[in-house]
Amino acid sequence: MPLDVPCNKNINGITSFSGYLYNLSTTASFIKEENFLMGYNCDFNLLYFPFDVHLCYINISLINRSNFKAFFQNISIFSGESAVGPFTASKLKFSKSNETYRTIIQLNFLLTRRYGAYILTTILPVILIGIIGSCSHKFESSDFTNRITIALSCLIVVASLIVAVSAGNSDTTEVRAIDVFFFYYTFRLFLMFACHVLQGFVLWGKSAFEQNPEENDALKSKSTRKTQDIGKILFSEDYVMNNEKGNLDSVKMAWNPPAVPNESNCQKFWEATADNFLLIFGLFLDVVFLGLSGVLVILDRTQTTNNFDAL
Protein backbone atom coordinates (compact mmCIF):
# COMPACT_ATOMS: atom_id res chain seq x y z
CA MET A 1 0.00 0.00 0.00
CA PRO A 2 1.39 3.43 -0.86
CA LEU A 3 2.52 5.50 2.05
CA ASP A 4 1.81 9.22 1.93
CA VAL A 5 3.35 11.33 4.64
CA PRO A 6 2.36 14.95 3.98
CA CYS A 7 3.76 18.02 5.61
CA ASN A 8 1.76 21.18 5.19
CA LYS A 9 3.23 24.62 5.72
CA ASN A 10 1.65 28.02 5.62
CA ILE A 11 4.06 30.90 5.10
CA ASN A 12 2.74 34.40 4.57
CA GLY A 13 -0.63 33.06 3.48
CA ILE A 14 0.88 30.69 0.88
CA THR A 15 0.38 26.97 1.47
CA SER A 16 3.09 24.53 0.42
CA PHE A 17 3.11 20.72 0.57
CA SER A 18 6.05 18.40 0.89
CA GLY A 19 6.27 14.71 1.80
CA TYR A 20 7.26 11.19 0.73
CA LEU A 21 5.27 8.89 -1.45
CA TYR A 22 6.39 5.22 -1.10
CA ASN A 23 4.84 2.43 -3.14
CA LEU A 24 6.55 -0.58 -1.38
CA SER A 25 8.78 -1.27 -4.36
CA THR A 26 12.47 -0.96 -4.92
CA THR A 27 12.16 2.68 -6.01
CA ALA A 28 10.75 5.68 -4.27
CA SER A 29 9.58 9.05 -5.58
CA PHE A 30 10.07 12.28 -3.74
CA ILE A 31 7.47 14.91 -4.60
CA LYS A 32 7.77 18.47 -3.41
CA GLU A 33 5.29 21.15 -4.36
CA GLU A 34 5.85 24.78 -3.42
CA ASN A 35 3.91 27.94 -4.07
CA PHE A 36 5.91 31.07 -3.56
CA LEU A 37 6.21 34.71 -4.49
CA MET A 38 9.37 35.75 -6.23
CA GLY A 39 10.87 39.18 -6.68
CA TYR A 40 13.20 40.14 -9.49
CA ASN A 41 15.07 43.11 -10.87
CA CYS A 42 14.75 44.35 -14.44
CA ASP A 43 17.17 46.88 -15.92
CA PHE A 44 15.23 49.73 -17.51
CA ASN A 45 16.50 51.88 -20.38
CA LEU A 46 14.46 55.08 -20.09
CA LEU A 47 15.89 56.77 -23.17
CA TYR A 48 12.54 56.63 -24.99
CA PHE A 49 10.33 57.35 -21.98
CA PRO A 50 7.27 57.39 -22.05
CA PHE A 51 7.33 55.08 -25.08
CA ASP A 52 9.82 52.63 -23.57
CA VAL A 53 9.62 48.84 -23.87
CA HIS A 54 11.76 46.58 -21.66
CA LEU A 55 12.80 42.96 -22.13
CA CYS A 56 13.08 41.32 -18.69
CA TYR A 57 14.54 37.98 -17.59
CA ILE A 58 13.94 35.69 -14.62
CA ASN A 59 16.43 32.86 -14.03
CA ILE A 60 15.48 29.78 -11.96
CA SER A 61 18.27 27.29 -11.29
CA LEU A 62 18.57 23.80 -9.77
CA ILE A 63 22.03 23.24 -8.30
CA ASN A 64 23.63 19.80 -8.65
CA ARG A 65 25.67 18.56 -5.68
CA SER A 66 27.86 15.42 -5.72
CA ASN A 67 25.68 12.51 -6.83
CA PHE A 68 22.46 14.50 -6.65
CA LYS A 69 21.26 15.42 -10.14
CA ALA A 70 18.32 17.75 -10.32
CA PHE A 71 16.44 18.50 -13.51
CA PHE A 72 13.19 20.05 -14.69
CA GLN A 73 10.59 17.81 -16.22
CA ASN A 74 7.21 18.48 -17.83
CA ILE A 75 7.40 22.24 -17.55
CA SER A 76 4.09 24.04 -17.99
CA ILE A 77 3.69 27.81 -17.84
CA PHE A 78 0.31 29.51 -17.67
CA SER A 79 0.44 33.23 -18.28
CA GLY A 80 -1.25 36.02 -20.15
CA GLU A 81 -1.04 39.76 -20.62
CA SER A 82 -1.62 41.67 -17.42
CA ALA A 83 -1.27 45.20 -16.07
CA VAL A 84 1.67 45.79 -13.76
CA GLY A 85 1.57 49.34 -12.46
CA PRO A 86 2.11 51.70 -15.42
CA PHE A 87 3.18 48.76 -17.62
CA THR A 88 1.54 45.96 -19.55
CA ALA A 89 3.29 42.61 -19.08
CA SER A 90 3.30 40.18 -21.99
CA LYS A 91 3.00 36.40 -21.89
CA LEU A 92 5.91 34.49 -20.44
CA LYS A 93 8.36 32.64 -22.63
CA PHE A 94 10.91 30.21 -21.23
CA SER A 95 14.08 28.49 -22.34
CA LYS A 96 15.96 25.66 -20.59
CA SER A 97 19.70 25.10 -20.51
CA ASN A 98 21.84 22.48 -18.79
CA GLU A 99 25.24 23.21 -17.33
CA THR A 100 27.68 21.08 -15.40
CA TYR A 101 26.60 22.17 -11.95
CA ARG A 102 23.11 23.41 -12.54
CA THR A 103 20.03 23.41 -14.71
CA ILE A 104 18.59 26.80 -15.63
CA ILE A 105 15.18 27.92 -16.75
CA GLN A 106 15.00 31.46 -18.09
CA LEU A 107 11.63 33.20 -18.15
CA ASN A 108 11.32 36.14 -20.57
CA PHE A 109 8.62 38.77 -20.87
CA LEU A 110 8.07 42.30 -22.14
CA LEU A 111 7.09 45.31 -20.08
CA THR A 112 5.42 47.97 -22.25
CA ARG A 113 4.66 51.34 -20.71
CA ARG A 114 1.13 52.65 -21.21
CA TYR A 115 1.66 56.09 -22.75
CA GLY A 116 -1.90 57.21 -23.53
CA ALA A 117 -2.12 59.54 -20.54
CA TYR A 118 1.20 61.21 -21.43
CA ILE A 119 -0.02 61.95 -24.96
CA LEU A 120 -3.30 63.51 -23.77
CA THR A 121 -1.95 65.47 -20.79
CA THR A 122 1.59 66.42 -21.88
CA ILE A 123 2.59 65.93 -25.51
CA LEU A 124 -0.52 67.19 -27.34
CA PRO A 125 -0.94 70.26 -25.07
CA VAL A 126 2.69 71.28 -25.63
CA ILE A 127 2.30 70.90 -29.41
CA LEU A 128 -0.84 73.06 -29.34
CA ILE A 129 0.95 75.66 -27.20
CA GLY A 130 3.76 75.75 -29.76
CA ILE A 131 1.24 76.35 -32.57
CA ILE A 132 -0.45 79.12 -30.58
CA GLY A 133 2.91 80.77 -29.96
CA SER A 134 3.77 80.57 -33.67
CA CYS A 135 0.49 82.26 -34.58
CA SER A 136 1.63 85.35 -32.69
CA HIS A 137 3.58 86.24 -35.84
CA LYS A 138 0.24 86.94 -37.54
CA PHE A 139 -0.43 89.93 -35.29
CA GLU A 140 0.40 93.37 -36.62
CA SER A 141 4.09 94.19 -36.29
CA SER A 142 3.17 97.30 -34.29
CA ASP A 143 1.13 95.22 -31.81
CA PHE A 144 4.15 94.46 -29.66
CA THR A 145 2.19 94.05 -26.41
CA ASN A 146 -0.01 91.18 -27.59
CA ARG A 147 2.88 89.45 -29.36
CA ILE A 148 5.15 89.44 -26.35
CA THR A 149 2.29 88.48 -24.00
CA ILE A 150 1.39 85.38 -26.02
CA ALA A 151 5.03 84.28 -26.31
CA LEU A 152 5.66 84.70 -22.57
CA SER A 153 2.41 82.94 -21.61
CA CYS A 154 3.23 79.94 -23.80
CA LEU A 155 6.74 79.78 -22.35
CA ILE A 156 5.41 79.85 -18.78
CA VAL A 157 2.86 77.09 -19.45
CA VAL A 158 5.52 74.81 -20.97
CA ALA A 159 7.82 75.47 -17.99
CA SER A 160 5.03 74.49 -15.56
CA LEU A 161 4.46 71.23 -17.46
CA ILE A 162 8.19 70.48 -17.26
CA VAL A 163 8.12 70.91 -13.49
CA ALA A 164 5.04 68.67 -13.15
CA VAL A 165 6.49 65.84 -15.25
CA SER A 166 9.89 66.05 -13.56
CA ALA A 167 8.31 65.92 -10.10
CA GLY A 168 6.34 62.79 -11.02
CA ASN A 169 9.37 60.99 -12.48
CA SER A 170 12.30 62.07 -10.33
CA ASP A 171 13.72 58.56 -9.85
CA THR A 172 16.25 58.83 -12.67
CA THR A 173 18.89 61.27 -13.87
CA GLU A 174 19.09 59.90 -17.41
CA VAL A 175 18.17 62.01 -20.42
CA ARG A 176 14.78 60.85 -21.69
CA ALA A 177 12.79 61.46 -24.85
CA ILE A 178 10.27 63.59 -22.93
CA ASP A 179 13.14 65.83 -21.72
CA VAL A 180 14.40 66.37 -25.27
CA PHE A 181 10.81 67.12 -26.35
CA PHE A 182 10.40 69.77 -23.64
CA PHE A 183 13.80 71.30 -24.36
CA TYR A 184 12.99 71.66 -28.06
CA TYR A 185 9.70 73.49 -27.47
CA THR A 186 11.16 75.63 -24.69
CA PHE A 187 14.05 76.71 -26.91
CA ARG A 188 11.74 77.38 -29.86
CA LEU A 189 9.41 79.53 -27.77
CA PHE A 190 12.44 81.38 -26.41
CA LEU A 191 13.64 82.15 -29.95
CA MET A 192 10.13 83.38 -30.78
CA PHE A 193 10.21 85.62 -27.72
CA ALA A 194 13.66 86.93 -28.75
CA CYS A 195 12.38 87.76 -32.25
CA HIS A 196 9.49 89.75 -30.80
CA VAL A 197 11.82 91.60 -28.43
CA LEU A 198 14.18 92.46 -31.29
CA GLN A 199 11.29 93.72 -33.37
CA GLY A 200 10.09 95.73 -30.38
CA PHE A 201 13.49 97.46 -30.15
CA VAL A 202 13.27 98.34 -33.85
CA LEU A 203 9.79 99.83 -33.38
CA TRP A 204 10.92 101.70 -30.29
CA GLY A 205 13.84 103.23 -32.20
CA LYS A 206 11.54 104.20 -35.07
CA SER A 207 9.00 105.86 -32.78
CA ALA A 208 11.79 107.71 -30.93
CA PHE A 209 13.09 109.05 -34.25
CA GLU A 210 9.64 110.20 -35.35
CA GLN A 211 9.02 111.95 -32.05
CA ASN A 212 12.19 114.08 -32.35
CA PRO A 213 10.86 117.54 -33.39
CA GLU A 214 14.21 119.04 -34.37
CA GLU A 215 15.03 116.31 -36.90
CA ASN A 216 11.49 116.36 -38.29
CA ASP A 217 11.61 120.15 -38.79
CA ALA A 218 14.97 119.84 -40.55
CA LEU A 219 13.61 117.18 -42.88
CA LYS A 220 10.50 119.27 -43.62
CA SER A 221 12.55 122.38 -44.40
CA LYS A 222 14.78 120.43 -46.79
CA SER A 223 11.74 119.00 -48.54
CA THR A 224 10.15 122.48 -48.84
CA ARG A 225 13.31 124.00 -50.33
CA LYS A 226 13.55 121.21 -52.91
CA THR A 227 9.91 121.70 -53.90
CA GLN A 228 10.38 125.46 -54.29
CA ASP A 229 13.48 124.98 -56.42
CA ILE A 230 11.69 122.53 -58.71
CA GLY A 231 8.76 124.95 -59.01
CA LYS A 232 11.05 127.80 -60.02
CA ILE A 233 12.65 125.70 -62.73
CA LEU A 234 9.41 124.36 -64.16
CA PHE A 235 7.54 127.66 -64.20
CA SER A 236 10.37 129.93 -65.15
CA GLU A 237 9.77 132.21 -68.15
CA ASP A 238 12.60 130.71 -70.18
CA TYR A 239 11.24 127.19 -69.75
CA VAL A 240 7.73 128.18 -70.87
CA MET A 241 9.00 130.22 -73.88
CA ASN A 242 11.24 127.41 -75.09
CA ASN A 243 8.42 124.93 -74.90
CA GLU A 244 6.84 124.34 -78.33
CA LYS A 245 3.45 126.13 -78.79
CA GLY A 246 3.50 127.05 -75.13
CA ASN A 247 2.03 123.67 -74.24
CA LEU A 248 2.01 123.32 -70.48
CA ASP A 249 1.09 119.62 -70.51
CA SER A 250 4.74 118.67 -70.42
CA VAL A 251 5.16 121.06 -67.52
CA LYS A 252 2.34 119.31 -65.67
CA MET A 253 3.87 115.92 -66.43
CA ALA A 254 7.22 117.14 -65.12
CA TRP A 255 5.54 118.56 -62.03
CA ASN A 256 3.67 115.29 -61.40
CA PRO A 257 6.32 112.56 -61.81
CA PRO A 258 5.41 108.82 -61.52
CA ALA A 259 4.37 107.80 -58.04
CA VAL A 260 7.15 106.41 -55.89
CA PRO A 261 6.19 103.53 -53.57
CA ASN A 262 5.54 104.70 -50.07
CA GLU A 263 8.30 103.77 -47.65
CA SER A 264 5.85 102.70 -44.95
CA ASN A 265 4.05 100.32 -47.34
CA CYS A 266 7.36 98.72 -48.34
CA GLN A 267 8.31 98.32 -44.69
CA LYS A 268 4.96 96.69 -43.88
CA PHE A 269 5.37 94.33 -46.83
CA TRP A 270 8.79 93.14 -45.71
CA GLU A 271 7.65 92.81 -42.09
CA ALA A 272 4.66 90.69 -43.16
CA THR A 273 6.96 88.55 -45.34
CA ALA A 274 9.37 87.99 -42.46
CA ASP A 275 6.51 87.06 -40.10
CA ASN A 276 5.07 84.57 -42.60
CA PHE A 277 8.50 83.03 -43.11
CA LEU A 278 9.05 82.64 -39.34
CA LEU A 279 5.59 81.09 -38.93
CA ILE A 280 6.00 78.57 -41.76
CA PHE A 281 9.61 77.75 -40.87
CA GLY A 282 8.71 77.16 -37.21
CA LEU A 283 5.86 74.80 -38.09
CA PHE A 284 8.17 73.00 -40.55
CA LEU A 285 10.74 72.47 -37.79
CA ASP A 286 7.99 71.05 -35.56
CA VAL A 287 6.96 68.54 -38.22
CA VAL A 288 10.58 67.48 -38.82
CA PHE A 289 11.34 67.12 -35.10
CA LEU A 290 8.18 65.16 -34.30
CA GLY A 291 8.63 62.97 -37.39
CA LEU A 292 12.23 62.04 -36.54
CA SER A 293 11.33 61.40 -32.91
CA GLY A 294 8.45 59.13 -33.95
CA VAL A 295 10.69 57.16 -36.31
CA LEU A 296 13.32 56.59 -33.59
CA VAL A 297 10.68 55.45 -31.10
CA ILE A 298 9.10 53.04 -33.59
CA LEU A 299 12.50 51.57 -34.50
CA ASP A 300 13.40 50.97 -30.84
CA ARG A 301 10.05 49.37 -30.01
CA THR A 302 10.22 47.17 -33.14
CA GLN A 303 13.74 46.00 -32.33
CA THR A 304 12.85 45.10 -28.74
CA THR A 305 9.72 43.24 -29.84
CA ASN A 306 11.64 41.30 -32.47
CA ASN A 307 14.26 40.28 -29.90
CA PHE A 308 11.49 38.95 -27.67
CA ASP A 309 9.82 37.06 -30.50
CA ALA A 310 13.15 35.45 -31.45
CA LEU A 311 13.52 33.84 -28.02
Whole-number pLDDT of residue 235:
46
Total structural domains in the chain? 3
Q: Which positions ≥6 away from 117 have C-beta within 8 Å?
A: none
Residue 13: domain span: 1-37
Out of 114, 149, 178, a domain closes at 114
Whole-number pLDDT of residue 154:
93
Whether 142 and 200 map to the same domain: the answer is: yes
Whole-number pLDDT of residue 227:
47
Whole-number pLDDT of residue 273:
83
Out of 114, 143, 160, a domain closes at 114
Whether 171 and 288 map to the same domain: the answer is: yes
Q: Which helix (H) or strand (E) holds 155?
A: helix 144-168
Whether 203 and 146 map to the same domain: the answer is: yes
Whole-number pLDDT of residue 196:
87
Residue 156 belongs to a domain with what CATH number? 1.20.58.390
- In this prediction the pTM is 0.68
User: Quick check: bond before 125 cis, omega within 30?
Assistant: no
Whether 276 and 176 map to the same domain: the answer is: yes
Spans of the chain below 50 pLDDT: 1-7, 9-14, 16-17, 20, 219, 226-228, 230-235, 237, 239-242, 245-246, 248, 250-261
Whether 31 and 74 map to the same domain: the answer is: no
Whether 18 and 75 map to the same domain: the answer is: no
What distance in Å separates the CA atoms of residue 151 and residue 196, rounded to the nearest whole number? 8
pLDDT digits (tens, 9 = 90+) for 251-300: 444 444 444 445 566 767 777 788 888 889 999 999 999 999 999 999 99
The answer to the question of residue 224 being in a domain is no
Whether 145 and 204 map to the same domain: the answer is: yes
What distance in Å separates the CA atoms of residue 219 and residue 92, rounded to the nearest whole number? 86
What distance in Å separates the CA atoms of residue 80 and residue 90, rounded to the nearest whole number? 6
Whole-number pLDDT of residue 184:
95
| φ/ψ of residue 60, rounded to 5 | -120, 125
User: What burial letters (b/e) apply to 148-179, b meaning 16+ CB within 10 Å?
Assistant: bebbeebbebbeebbeebeeeeeeeeeebbbb
Whether 96 and 130 map to the same domain: the answer is: no
Whether 58 and 173 map to the same domain: the answer is: no
Whole-number pLDDT of residue 25:
60
